[in-house]
Structure 1
């Protein structure tokens, strides 16, 4: 079948993207789903820094590639071997497929699935197959096994979570595939924040603000928001942050440590930048934990005082996909959203058409947007008042 898709034909490409047009909307060939694969009609797909990092070359990937990894949609048809989904089911896509068979999967660490990571790096589905082709039948690689900036996508069954959510607009459901999974999961799964503890979030994009909401849901009593944007700090305050700090201020680390009585229990870095991680480490208290869930450039390095790590019994951890088990956590987070304890709809800062995607990435690049979502099924889009 034919489908429209946003194709990245070269990388790196510099902003302004409205002029350089890195993503071209093209009609491409989409093969039917193979063994253990599913054809999905995309309802909505979010613009994320992980897409931007492929465009600007920070995360090299095979080209040409159909981008988009944070999405929700409706099952259209299923391939052989899929027995637990039917046409019409609503699904949230997850950007790291988990095979269920490798050692990390067997240990309950789906985010670290070895075949899933290898497939993502090669730009193929979990089966190793490629289902997208141009008009000359040359392959178009898949982004994170999803390629959701398209009307339709064929994905592995292991990239999908079925959700019972007919009442939730796709523009909201899409956020659970990446921003919510990564941000909320980092706080609840990786940090295991307990009621009464203190949490600092460094980097207030969609993932960082989702982490802030996760800290509120966990019962943290002192939640500190840190960013370079005063607008995002304002939004963090509206969402429930106890205190906000602009990271550009001189002596900000010393000020935060003083204001928090020696530092925070958990400092979470979600900016994907070494200076942000170093700030997070500086504001972590003795015996505390510093977690990074931001994907920095592959060449980036950080340094910390070794004696300080030992003498203060500090913990430094990475968090990928919020240490989530998607089948368990995505429905759990949706239930928190329904209960009013995780208002992720407040992270939406724009609803776009597919044709506006390059301009959307300009806003993301300039730090002017939290989460912009491309909506394909207009009848499911939220009202203007929800944005």
Structure 2
């Protein structure tokens, strides 16, 4: 079938909308008519060339939800009309990591930047004028229709729920929430610093608040984002980490924050080092922000690491198991315990995708969403 999608022809580049050819689903695949897609900084990293991908052109988008229009042969558990959202990391359910409940580290994540199938990086479903087009994370949610592996799909049982809001669970919400709840393991009474209040950081604030942190110190140079953090559970907001770190020490008899969570859109080693310095003895610094793949080095003191017994932890997709945690988050949303609707600052048409990224860079959105 034909579909319209936003692609990057080469990097660095700008997303442009073109007509693409989309293959029908094969075994253990479905074709989905998209309802909504989040505009995530990770897609901008691809456009800027911070992250190299295996094939260009590539159709963007990895945070989305829609309705199944076709089910591949010998594919069980799904039918036409089902509401679904995507996990940007596929889960096979069988590898060592999935078996241990660490689905975010599934071996099929190795194919995430190839643009092909999670189980076959050399197999593609999109093309342009006979030329292969990669799918971001095997999903390409910046397309009106997409064919995906069922390993990347979460069914939404309650069809009354708005897919425009639920689509955010496929990346931004789970990554930020899990960074606080799973990776930092925040518990009641703690002091937490969140650095960078975008689509990830705002949900780290939500997660820390849900976990019972007494003091949540949000850091962002943009006033709109600082104000937003206060609405989502932050107790104070600052324009610099230095200010937040001073307050954390004042609140803890000079010790420092229990946890610092780095969710900056383009994270550097210096950012991580500053966050690491803001935590107490035996505290944890969680890094979920991404930077350039070629950047190397974090300027922290080995003596500080050892003698203060501090922990530096990476966090991919909030250290979650999407097939279990996304349905759990849907239940939290239904119960009014997780805010999704007001995370969406602005909606865009597919043709406005480039403007969505301009607004992201201008600091105007917590999350921009493409509405199909």
Classify the TM-score, shorter chain. over 0.9
Matched, 1:77 2:73: no
Equivalent residues in 2 for 1:39-188, closer than 5 Å: 39-61=31-53, 62-114=55-107, 116-128=108-120, 129-134=123-128, 136-188=129-181
Deviates more, 1:189-198 or 1:308-317: 189-198
- The alignment's TM-score, normalised by the length of structure 2, stands at 0.94
Deviation at 1:246, TM superposition (A): 0.8
Following the alignment from structure 2 to structure 1, what is the Cα–Cα distance between the partners of residues 247 and 232?
22
Alpha-carbon separation, structure 2, partners of 1:64 and 1:10: 6
Deviation digits for residues 139-180 of structure 1, max 9, x if unmatched?
000101110011110011000111123222221011111111
Counterpart-to-counterpart distance in 2, 1:204 and 1:252: 14
Equivalent in the alignment of 1:346: 342
Match of residue 337, structure 1, among 333, 336, 341:
333
Write out per-residue CA displacement over residues 52-86 of structure 1, whole angstroms, 9 at most, x where no aligned residue.
00001111112100000000111111113321111
Q: Which residue number corresponds to residue 197 of structure 2?
A: 204
How many Å separate the matches in 1 of 2:214 and 2:335?
Answer: 20
Q: CA deviation at 1:276?
A: 2.8
> Counterpart in 1 of 2:300?
304
1:335-383 Cα shifts (integer Å, max 9, x gaps): 111222211222111011011110111111222221000111xxxxxxx
**SS state at 2:4 partner:** strand
Cα distance in 1 for residues equivalent to 2:293 and 2:155: 33
Q: 2:89·2:109 contact (CA, 8 Å) conserved in 1? A: yes
The alignment status of 1:23 with 2:36, answered yes or no, reads: no
Deviations 1:154-207 (A, max 9, x none): 011000111123222221011111111111111122222222222211110011
Q: Secondary structure at the match of 1:206?
A: coil
In the other structure, the counterpart of 2:6 is 6
**Equivalents in 2 of 1:159, 1:195: separation in Å?**
34
Any conservation in 1 of the 2:50–2:293 contact (CA below 8 Å)? Answer: yes
How many aligned residue pairs are there? 365
Cα separation, 2, equivalents of 1:51 and 1:349: 18
Cα separation, partners in 2 of 1:149 and 1:327, compared to 1, 3 Å: same
Distance in 1 (alpha carbons) for counterparts of 2:292 and 2:252: 31
Please give the TM-score of this superposition, normalised by the length of structure 1.
Answer: 0.91
Superposition misfits of 4+ residues, deviation over 3 angstroms = 250-256
What SS is found at the alignment partner of 1:210? helix
Secondary structure of 2:173 counterpart: helix
Q: Aligned equivalents of 2:203 and 2:353: distance in 1?
A: 23
What is the Cα deviation at residue 117 of structure 1?
2.1
CA apart distance, 1:329: 0.4
Structure 2: give runs of 5+ residues left out of the alignment: none
**Correspondence for 2:363:** 367
Q: In structure 2, how many angstroms separate the alpha carbons of the residues matched to 1:256 and 1:219?
A: 16
Does residue 277 of structure 2 align to residue 285 of structure 1? no
Q: Quote how far apart the aligned CAs of 1:251 are.
A: 5.8
Query: 2:233 aligned with 1:240, yes or no?
Result: yes
Alpha-carbon distance, 1:255 to partner: 4.3
User: Cα 1:255–1:195, aligned 2, differ >3 Å: closer, same or farther?
Assistant: closer
Please tell me whether the aligned partners of residues 166 and 340 of structure 2 are also in contact (alpha carbons under 8 angstroms): no
